[in-house]
Structure 1
């Protein structure tokens, strides 16, 4: 591999590795597995560089990452061994403790709700809300048409809202039951 190509790959890695890590962490729930999947994603991207048709790099890499995650999930399903959720506590050394606790609780509630969604809903919400993908980028990354992107995104948001309302209703009912 010539030095120019090597430097370009290195630049791509530096630019996108962190975003891919957080995406894969969100899917897998495991920091260790997310790191492994990022490495596998870049390995597969390097191997399939000849198939790269000069489209946008970001959706192409996220598409590879998603497929890498799905392959890993299927492999683990086959062996009936799925320790995907090693949720670690993250405590901020800064800020007001009460505010940090509320933020952490809200984030945890959102993560719990997202975990209840099918993978394609979680992925499309992550791409749009966290990675600020355009519809075109989502279309490329998930191999959907523009209308499928819009419909799936609408349904994912609607389902997330329904789950949140159901959780809120249950917690209010629990408080009334205890009172």
Structure 2
């Protein structure tokens, strides 16, 4: 690997490792798995960097991370509910990449929402996380999830609607 490519990878790692870690932590529910998956994501990115097209780098890395997570999920044959919603607590957000972003710390997520999120299918959790927490644009969602613009809009709509249905079925949200 030439020096320029190595520098590019180091810059990508510095810029995106923390947000990839939190994404993979949300998806896997495990600090250790998330750490391993971040490393595997960058190994795969290194291998495929020569095939990389000039698309949005962030979206491309999240696509690699998502595929890495799905491969691991299939290997482990996890057919149980992934504890996505339980990961909003500050003490569980500590990582080797430093303290969580301030936005995460100040974001208040009610117990009701936490309980409801874990019932969403993986594809709904993924798109909601990328849109709401990583602030992905529709174009970035298209690239990261390999979907058309219409599919992104439909999936987001369905994910939000499903969350609302689950909330109504469980008595709605309780506000203090």
Q: Which band: TM-score by shorter chain? A: 0.7 to 0.9
1:76–1:82 CA contact under 8 A, matched in 2: no
Aligned match of 1:26: 26
Aligned match of 1:3: 3
Aligned match of 1:97: none
Query: Number of residue pairs matched?
Result: 158
Per-residue CA deviation, residues 139-165 of structure 1 (Å, 9 max, x unaligned), is 011111100000110000010111122
Matches within 5 A, 1:1-179: 1-77=1-77, 85=83, 90-91=90-91, 103=108, 106=110, 108-168=111-171
TM-score of the pair, normalised by structure 1: 0.78
What SS class does the counterpart of residue 168 from structure 1 fall into?
A: coil
What SS class does the counterpart of residue 14 from structure 2 fall into?
A: helix
Aligned match of 1:95: none
2:116–2:163 CA contact under 8 A, matched in 1: yes
In 2, Cα distance between the equivalents of 1:122 and 1:141? 14
Higher relative contact order (CA 8 A, sep 6+): 2
Per-residue CA deviation, residues 52-80 of structure 1 (Å, 9 max, x unaligned), is 01111011111111111111011011xx6
Q: Which structure is larger by alpha-carbon Rg, 1 or 2?
A: 1
In 1, Cα distance between the equivalents of 2:135 and 2:121? 20
In 1, Cα distance between the equivalents of 2:147 and 2:172? 35
| Runs (5+) with no aligned partner, structure 2 | 93-104
Q: Which moved more, 1:37-46 or 1:83-92?
A: 83-92
Question: 1:91 and 1:33, CA in 2 relative to 1: closer, same or farther beyond 3 A?
Answer: closer
Residue 90 of structure 1 and its aligned partner are, at CA, apart by 3.9
Higher helix share: 1
2:82–2:118 CA contact under 8 A, matched in 1: no
CA RMSD of aligned residues (A): 2.7
